[in-house]
Amino acid sequence: MTAAISFRAATKVFGTGRDAVRAVDSVTLDIARGEIFGVIGYSGAGKSTLVRLVNALETVTSGEVIVGGQNITELREPELRKVRAGIGMIFQQFNLMSSRTVAGNVAYPLKVAGWSKQDRKRRVAELLDFVGIADKARTYPGKLSGGQKQRVGIARALATSPSILLADEATSALDPDTTQDVLTLLQRVNRELGITIVVITHEMDVVRSIAHRVAVMEQGAVIEHGAAYDVFASPRQRATQRFVATTLRDRPSPEVLERLRHRHPGRMITVSVREDVGTGVDVFAGLRTHGVDGAIVFGGITEIDERPFGSLTVELGGDDAAIEALIADLRQTTDVHDLGTAADPRDVPWSAAAEAPAPEDETTPAGVGPDGVRSGGVGLGGVSSGGDAGVTRPFGGAR
């Protein structure tokens, strides 16, 4: 793998003494050339700081950041400018100049780079055509929709033909349909122009749709990373499990589970649906084989990286021994979480309650670290979990 970007124990501490915040904490990570790499995590996890290290908008406190084979932590300003020229960036708030037209905004970086007027004109036309807003060249940003503004942002970021595009919450201000349009455009930027894209987001849907690989950040650290499908289908860290559960909402949150138990006092199980293991159909085959009744009470099946992923929560009815045999059977092919019954409930791994004593969890607890530096970021425990609609939540519906 040729790395476009490598972090080597990269650490960024803001402030000193008691006020010090470890925004990025010893991150070691390779982002390959030509991939779309997602960085997810809740607010304050350190995502923006991590990408700002790439174009040296922030400098590391310790460790190294290597961009295109160059250790940028050793570079001086004139050399850094060259590295920055090869990196485009887009933002949540678009950051367009309101006094310039769309064409003027896109032409600006070319002007700074010393392009002739004629060359600028040709390049701007080409870029606006690529992002699909050629008809808006003379319009001012104030008259554009959010999606159109972000297209301008993307055109401007691509103007000087960077090899890396950093997208910091680039779709967070957009509605779901417009988000998908912009994500499709980013996919084209990646596929047709071969540009490495780093997508930072707290929205699971964004990484789910376009990221090839992902890293999950919490309190400055990367707690898990790998192929998007592997990380989301088999999250190893409790924090990632909860992130997947709370954002995909295919599993009942503790609150939803409470309500479900009122309506469905019998034995409930949550069965994973994945490409390599069973599908929903296996559950029904199992029910038939063992003569057990089953009612789907919650769930969702969607796609990650174009592969099926999700879970079904089923209430089982019938003979106890038959139910045990069915569960044992299902466990041969897929993950089964036993939720117990209303009278004898079991904790679920994706609930906050289950997260508290987590010896196998590699993440450091919130608060003061070994060296007295406070970790930045909001713990995942602070985020409300789960869906609220039970069976009425549409299948395939992440969020």
Ligand X SMILES: Nc1ncnc2c1ncn2[C@@H]1O[C@H](COP(=O)(O)OP(=O)(O)OP(=O)(O)O)[C@@H](O)[C@H]1O
Counting residues that bind Mg ion (by CB under 5 A) gives 1
How far is the C-alpha of 309 from the C-alpha of 304, rounded, in Å?
6
Least distance from C-beta 292 to ligand X, angstroms?
45
Least distance from C-beta 381 to ligand X, angstroms?
16
Which of ligand X, Mg ion, none lies near 252, with the C-beta cut-off 5 to 8 A by kind? Answer: none
Counting residues that bind ligand X (by CB under 6 A) gives 15
Tokens encoding 229: 């499908």
CB of 252 or CB of 379, closer to Mg ion = 379
CB of 325 or CB of 378, closer to ligand X = 378
Could you tell me if 283 and 294 are in contact, meaning their C-beta atoms sit under 8 angstroms apart? yes
Which of ligand X, Mg ion, none lies near 46, with the C-beta cut-off 5 to 8 A by kind? Answer: ligand X
3-state secondary structure at position 51:
helix
How far is the C-alpha of 321 from the C-alpha of 261, rounded, in Å?
21
Which of ligand X, Mg ion, none lies near 198, with the C-beta cut-off 5 to 8 A by kind? Answer: none
Which of ligand X, Mg ion, none lies near 63, with the C-beta cut-off 5 to 8 A by kind? Answer: none
Residue 354 CA to its chain's centroid (Å): 23
Neighbours of 343 (CB within 10 A): 8
Measured at CB, which residue is nearest to ligand X? 376
CB of 168 or CB of 355, closer to Mg ion = 168
How far is the C-alpha of 106 from the C-alpha of 88, rounded, in Å?
12
Examine residue 377 and tell whether it contacts ligand X (CB under 6 A).
yes
- DSSP alpha helix (H) spans, the chain: 47-54, 77-85, 102-112, 117-131, 146-158, 176-193, 204-210, 228-233, 238-248, 254-263, 280-290, 320-333, 352-355
Examine residue 376 and tell whether it contacts ligand X (CB under 6 A).
yes
SS (H, E, C) 238-265: HHHHHHHHHHHCCCCCHHHHHHHHHHCC
Least distance from C-beta 231 to Mg ion, angstroms?
20
Q: Choose one: 37-45, 253-261, 268-276, 391-399; the region binding ligand X (CB under 6 A).
A: 37-45
How far is the C-alpha of 127 from the C-alpha of 197, rounded, in Å?
17
- Cα 293–Cα 294–Cα 296 angle in degrees, nearest 5: 160
Q: Is the dihedral of CA 189, 195, 201, 203 positive or negative?
A: positive
Q: Choose one: 15-23, 59-67, 118-126, 295-303; the region binding ligand X (CB under 6 A).
A: 15-23
Contacts of 399 (CB under 8 A, 6+ apart): 176, 203, 204, 205, 247, 248, 249
Which of ligand X, Mg ion, none lies near 14, with the C-beta cut-off 5 to 8 A by kind? Answer: ligand X
CB of 225 or CB of 264, closer to ligand X = 225
**Nearest alpha-carbon partner for 185 in 85, 175, 40, 195:** 195
Which of ligand X, Mg ion, none lies near 38, with the C-beta cut-off 5 to 8 A by kind? Answer: none
Encode 141-174: b = buried (16+ Cβ within 10 Å), e = exposed: beebebbbbbbbbbbbbbbbebbbbbbbbbbebb
Examine residue 48 and tell whether it contacts Mg ion (CB under 5 A).
yes
Least distance from C-beta 340 to ligand X, angstroms?
36
Q: What values do phi and psi take at 2, rounded to 5?
A: -85, 120
Site for ligand X in 40-79 (CB under 6 A): 41, 43-49
Examine residue 375 and tell whether it contacts Mg ion (CB under 5 A).
no
Examine residue 201 and tell whether it contacts Mg ion (CB under 5 A).
no
Q: Choose one: 1-9, 42-50, 173-181, 390-398; the region binding Mg ion (CB under 5 A).
A: 42-50
Q: Choose one: 13-21, 29-37, 81-89, 279-287; the region binding ligand X (CB under 6 A).
A: 13-21
Site for ligand X in 202-241 (CB under 6 A): 202
Which residues in this chain contact Mg ion in the complex, by CB under 5 A?
A: 48
Which residues in this chain contact ligand X in the complex, by CB under 6 A?
A: 14-15, 21, 23, 41, 43-49, 202, 376-377
